Amino acid sequence: MQEVAFFDLTVAQRFRDYLSFSLRYTYGSHICSALGMGWMVGKKVFYYLNHVVINDQYARPSELSSVGISNVRMQLVFEHPQLHALTQRHIKDFYTKE
């Protein structure tokens, strides 16, 4: 499993039921970024990613697994447990700080 040395999630805008965010992270030797949407239902956090960029180039679907992302139920999410947990934690922290 690749090492994650850097992770930064920034909430761009809060809408009524969800938020949009941007994130940057390293995955092994790759520098990655993505946009996403996140929301909570009760205490459970959900999110999906889009516009994934790997080393300054938009990622093709076949490249996503190389940076810890998979397609689950037609939504891009992190398959890497640390990235998944960090994303969920940042979204939850945003909602609980309001």
pTM for the complete prediction? 0.92
44-94 pLDDT per residue, tens: 999 999 999 999 999 999 999 999 999 988 899 999 999 999 999 999 999
CA 24 to chain centre: 9
> Within a 10 A sphere around the Cβ of 25, how many other Cβ atoms?
23
Band (pLDDT 50/70/90 cuts) for residue 26 is: very high
